[in-house]
Amino acid sequence: MKCSASLTVQYDSVFSPFPAKRWKEGMSWIKSSGFDAVEIILSDPKLLPTDEIQNLLLQLDLAVSTLSTGQAAGLEDLSLMSPSRDVRVHTVERLKEDIDFSVELGRPHVTIGLIRGKGGRLSFEDEYALLCRSLYEVANYAHKQSVVLNLEPINRYECLHLNKSSAVIQCIEDIGSPENVGVLFDTFHSNIEDPDMVSTITMLSGRISHVHIADSNRRLPGEGHIDFHVLKEQLEKINYAGYVSLEVLNDPSAEHIVEYAAEKLFTIFR
């Protein structure tokens, strides 16, 4: 398994130990710390200094594991299940732009997490139907561009749809089981929603496209109560060979993450 860490390149994020204006320093830290790749947090790829990002990645010999798109939901209220057709169309178009940006960067995966919407404005059934319709269009576009999508289960306290890993599998099947859509297994969310994380990994065999690592309190691994050694063994049993990527809060501080992130992750996954 390869190791990655989250970094924002546009707007400040609680999951990035460096503010957006210091993204170059952040990438250098990721490389010097021994990570294999950066997970890029972004909102609008059209506003990014694409050439600068590409040049620094090349200079550092650093890969991009995935593009995290959730900022667009928080900052711009984008949603694939919005009651507003205009918002849904805008969100689909934004994800297509993210997919195009992925192509420019060598086709890292594109994550669909909170950008799907939090839900609660229409009936559950109507929102789910809108979500599936939007996802189908995005997945079809990504397939044409040879880009993999990570569909992320997110716990019930943050959104109303696709909380459990099994719900994400059902959603993928409901949009026709496109081969380029996988499940993002997030240890923080799974710890809340799935009955047993080890059996969930087994159930997801062959369908996990990305892994987010955060302990039960969304801190670095080893600072909560999740047994990551057991999870690593199970990921190895299903022959998962993708990225495990840190997505933790800057708790107790960004400086703490910068100092200990690599040590905490590599102790388990290397």
Q: Where are the domains of the chain?
A: 2-269
- Residue 6 C-alpha from the chain's centroid: 9
> In percent, how much of the chain has pLDDT > 70?
100
pLDDT band at 42; cut points 50, 70, 90: very high
How many C-alpha atoms does 133 have within 13 Å on its Cβ side? 13
> Per-residue pLDDT tens for 177-224?
999 999 999 999 999 999 999 999 999 999 999 999 999 999 999 999
What is the pLDDT at residue 267? 96
- Fold for the domain defined by 2-269: TIM Barrel (3.20.20)
Average model confidence (pLDDT) across the chain: 98
Note the pLDDT of residue 182.
98
- Residue 142 binned pLDDT confidence (cut-offs 50, 70, 90): very high
Instruction: Note the pLDDT of residue 185.
Output: 98
Q: For residue 105, what pLDDT band results from cuts at 50, 70 and 90?
A: very high
**Angle between the N-to-C axes of helices 124-144 and 85-104, in degrees from 0 to 180, rounded to the nearest 10:** 30
The per-residue pLDDT for 116 is 98
CA 63/CA 65 separation, integer angstroms: 6
